[in-house]
């Protein structure tokens, strides 16, 4: 990971939280998500830690099973931490269904913790990309758009979440690769003017848009959905993931090794 993404205090807090959580479960990967991964962190952005963990096989087969999706949300030394984790089995089913949330955890650019088995999983995850991802990115972008339009505050963060989700989805459908940092996609997909939004957001997590900027983007944001839809229509990706058997074999190998 590029350690400059987090400042020293944030890194200390992240390490503290993950050390505590790893006493309770074995992580396959912990990815830094949210504004840090999307290219527009501000000094007060929270640490959004999205994890995948591996339950010991004996625990899956036995009577006493731990919680499937642990989470915690708290402020530590002035840093807000949002940690959540999902077990590898539902994650892989989500990958096959086109769940971008899980795909980004595996392929994300900022892993804070990784297990050796992740190296073999990443190319399988890329190979499982299909046109199914369209439904996930369209649904999430739509919900974020509704939240932005319904908000009394002209939140630049919510607007950027719409753009980030739509363009990440369009890029995945077009190229078969996953790029979460929207700043790397804006120019390529005709949204160069959105760099002004990035500058505003980086000044603070709760930054609001000037009224004239909000009005302009209210008429412009629909173009992001057009970009996503057109990418789906011309996508070279298969309709369904072609390598479910390979993912199944990877999981069986993992279960045998982690009994």
Look up the domain containing 196 and give its range: 133-233
Tell me: do 47 and 61 sit in the same domain.
Answer: yes
130-172: pLDDT as tens digits: 999 999 999 999 999 999 888 877 889 999 999 999 999 999 9
Q: pLDDT 10s per residue in the chain (259 long)?
A: 334 578 889 999 999 999 999 999 999 999 999 999 999 998 888 999 999 999 999 888 887 776 678 999 999 999 999 999 999 999 999 999 999 999 999 999 999 999 999 999 999 999 999 999 999 999 999 999 999 888 877 889 999 999 999 999 999 999 999 999 999 999 999 999 999 999 999 888 888 888 888 889 988 999 999 999 999 999 999 999 999 999 999 999 999 999 9
**Domain CATH number, residue 64:** 3.30.460.10
Asked if residue 166 lies in contact with residue 22, where contact means CB atoms within 8 angstroms, the answer is no
Q: Per the domain annotation, does 71 fall within a domain? A: yes
Tell me, yes or no, whether 91 lies in a domain: yes
**What is the value of pTM for the model shown?**
0.91
For residues 201 and 144, membership in a common domain is answered with yes
141 and 87 together in one domain: no
Q: Do both 113 and 188 map to the same domain?
A: no
Position 101 in a domain: yes
Residue 238 lies in a domain: no
Instruction: Identify whether residues 121 and 153 lie together within a single domain.
Output: no
| Same domain flag for 123 and 251 | yes
């Amino acid at each position: 990971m590029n350690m400059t993404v987090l400042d020293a205090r944030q890194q200390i807090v992240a390490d503290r939280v993950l050390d505590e959580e790893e006493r309770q479960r074995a992580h396959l990967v912990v990815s830094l998500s949210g504004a840090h991964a999307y290219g527009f962190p501000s000094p007060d952005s929270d640490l959004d830690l999205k994890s995948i963990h591996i339950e010991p096989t004996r625990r899956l087969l036995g009577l006493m099973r731990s919680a499937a999706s642990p989470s915690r949300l708290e402020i530590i030394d002035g840093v807000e931490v949002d940690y959540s984790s999902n077990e590898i089995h539902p994650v892989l089913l989500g990958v096959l269904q086109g769940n971008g949330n899980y795909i980004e955890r595996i392929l994300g650019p900022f892993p804070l913790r990784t297990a050796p088995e992740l190296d073999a999983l990443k190319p399988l995850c890329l190979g499982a990309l299909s046109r199914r991802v369209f439904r996930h990115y369209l649904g999430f972008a739509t919900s974020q758009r509704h939240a932005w339009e319904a908000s009394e505050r002209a939140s630049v963060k919510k607007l950027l979440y719409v753009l980030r989700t739509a363009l990440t989805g369009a890029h995945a459908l077009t190229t078969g690769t996953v790029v979460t940092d929207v700043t790397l996609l804006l120019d390529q997909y005709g949204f160069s003017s959105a760099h002004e939004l990035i500058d505003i957001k980086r000044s603070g997590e709760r930054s609001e848009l000037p009224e004239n900027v909000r009005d302009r983007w209210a008429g412009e944001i629909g173009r992001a959905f057009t970009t996503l839809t057109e990418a789906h229509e011309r996508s070279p990706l298969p309709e369904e993931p072609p390598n479910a058997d390979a993912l199944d074999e990877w999981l069986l190998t993992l279960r045998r090794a982690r009994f």
